[in-house]
Structure 1
Amino acid sequence: MVAKTETARAARGDAEGRRRDILASAEQLLEESGYAALTVRAIAAGAGVSAGTVYQYFNGKEDVFVALMARRLQEVQAVLAELDRGIGIAGVLREILPHITELWRRLGRSAPQWEAKVLAGGRRGKGVVTSATVYRRTLDALERALRETAEACGQTLIDDPALPHWVWDALIGIADDVLLGGSRQSRVRPKRLVEFATEAIERSIVAGSDQG
């Protein structure tokens, strides 16, 4: 199945447009069939270009995956930077959750396969470094937003370097439940799950909070 339907594609000579077409094709392949289906040939077919053109922009499918993940993470960073700190910690988490859910839906389950493929080949070069750097920046942006929000609301966050990592992993868990419909099987509405979970995260990271 061709990953990308016939839509307006970049004109010849539009380098940035071609790059967008390649990334859009790869992302749809991942969403529909997973990392195993991601090949340079399939990406090229979906983007309406040759395999050689894909290699003009990326070193291979692993680098394409890095670019996709970086783009999604940078979107989360941008949202965090713009959020009103007055909406509270749970409010901030609820605002970014749809973006994290979309990232997880499209790319998350393929990440372990990408990592295994790259590291198994002994390739710890630019792609791995880029992915790790963007991820760290996202966690930094998350922690900064949470601390600024806590300050705006008269709260103090627990001082622990594990905090942003734990919050991120908790949000991924919520996203996974929303996507798989786990809460609905227990007759819990997804909206209520999100409300409860984000409020629980807030209580767990605010110093001196003993609400329960």
Structure 2
Amino acid sequence: MNGTNGKSVYGDAEARRRMTLDAAAALLDEGGYAALTIRSVAQRAGTSTGLIYQYFSDKQEIFIALLNESQIESAAFVEALPRDQGVAALISQVIPHAAKQWGRVGRLTATWRTEVGDARLDRESVHEVRTTARVYNEALHTAIIEAAALEGRRLRDDAAVLPFVLSGILGMSDTLVNHWAPEVTTAELVDFTAAAITQGITAH
């Protein structure tokens, strides 16, 4: 324990890391991936670049940490959703959360991949992101299967079911983040999309 303030060194380190990630998320929201630099993160967090480097080797590691965190949060969100309201109701709850995560960091993954190229594949942290992506995908698939069973539905026996669901949610997330359908309310758009996805993946 720290004798002066009663906080552990671990706790302080976690708080500083959290402060760094929050500052990075704000910069990404304001200016995209190009706005993310070690210097800009340090300035936004009110700390030094040296302190940032204690936790992250470069800006890529900061972005990857945010992406990984987003997927972990998404998996936990899906796992906690009720199943007894049916598939469409479950998906309609997933979409707004997915849109929030997409707006925060997901929409910038293509820019990151383009800038970094194949060099990103050598990073251990990227392997962790792939793992948490699988965890999210499995959580979503399980939730849909369970919701379908509870309302007496059966999913189509096709390997394309999960990719179809994921692409539908992703596409709607992009639409919501960019406000591409101002003539329709968010609730109407989400409900329509959830119903359409449900129709596409359930056996008739």
Q: Which segment drifts farther, 50-59 or 20-29?
A: 50-59
Is 1:118–1:124's contact at 8 Å kept on the other side of the alignment?
Answer: no
* Total equivalences in the alignment: 196
* Residue aligned with 2:84, SS: helix
Query: Is the partner of 1:121 in helix, strand or coil?
Result: helix
Question: For residues 110 and 23 of structure 2, what CA distance do their matches in structure 1 show?
Answer: 20
Post-superposition shift, 1:182? 2.1
| Aligned equivalent of 2:43 | 45
What displacement does 1:12 show?
A: 9.8
* CA positional deviation for 1:174: 0.9
Q: Give, in whole Å, the separation in 2 of the partners of 1:103 and 1:45.
A: 24
Q: Does structure 1 conserve the Cα–Cα contact (< 8 Å) formed by 2:155 and 2:202? A: yes
Q: Cα offset for 1:117?
A: 2.9
Which residue of structure 1 aligns with residue 201 of structure 2? 205
Where does the alignment leave 5 or more consecutive residues of structure 2 unmatched? 1-6
Distance in structure 1 (CA, Å) of the matches to 2:40 and 2:8 = 20
- Do structure 1's residue 34 and structure 2's residue 36 form an aligned pair? no
TM-score between the two structures when normalised by the length of structure 1: 0.86
Could you tell me how far apart the structure 1 residues matched to 2:18 and 2:120 are?
A: 29
Counterparts of residues 95-106 of structure 1 (less than 5 Å): 95-106=93-104
Residues 56 and 127 (structure 1), Cα distance of their counterparts in 2 relative to 1, 3 Å cut: same
Q: Does 1:189 align with 2:185?
A: yes
**Cα deviation, residue 123, structure 1:** 4.5
Give the whole-Å Cα distance in 1 for the aligned partners of 2:196 and 2:181.
16
Q: CA RMSD in A?
A: 1.7
Structure 1, unpaired ranges of 5+: 1-10
1:3-18 aligned at under 5 Å gives the runs: 13=9, 14-18=12-16
Q: Which structure exhibits the higher relative contact order, with contacts defined as CA atoms closer than 8 Å and separated by 6 or more residues? A: 2
Distance in 2 (CA, whole Å) between partners of 1:122 and 1:108 is 16
Partner of 1:86: 84
How far apart are residue 125 of structure 1 and its match?
A: 2.0
Partner secondary structure for residue 181 of structure 2: helix
Which residue is 2:126 aligned to? Answer: 128
Q: Which runs of 4+ in 1 moved over 3 A?
A: 120-123
SS of 1:19's partner is helix
> C-alpha displacement at 1:97, in angstroms?
1.5
Letter in 1 for 2:203: A
Counterpart residue number, 2:52 = 54
CA contact (8 A) 2:120 2:126 kept: no
1: CA distance, partners of 2:124 / 2:113:
13
Name the CA distance, whole Å, in 2 between partners of 1:122 and 1:34: 18
Of 34-43 and 164-173, more deviation after overlay is shown by 164-173
In the alignment, the residues of structure 2 paired with residue 23 and residue 47 of structure 1 have an alpha-carbon distance, to the nearest angstrom, of 9
In structure 1, the residue matched to 2:65 is 67
- The answer on whether the counterparts of 2:99 and 2:177 sit within 8 Å (CA) in structure 1 is yes
SS at match of 1:191: helix
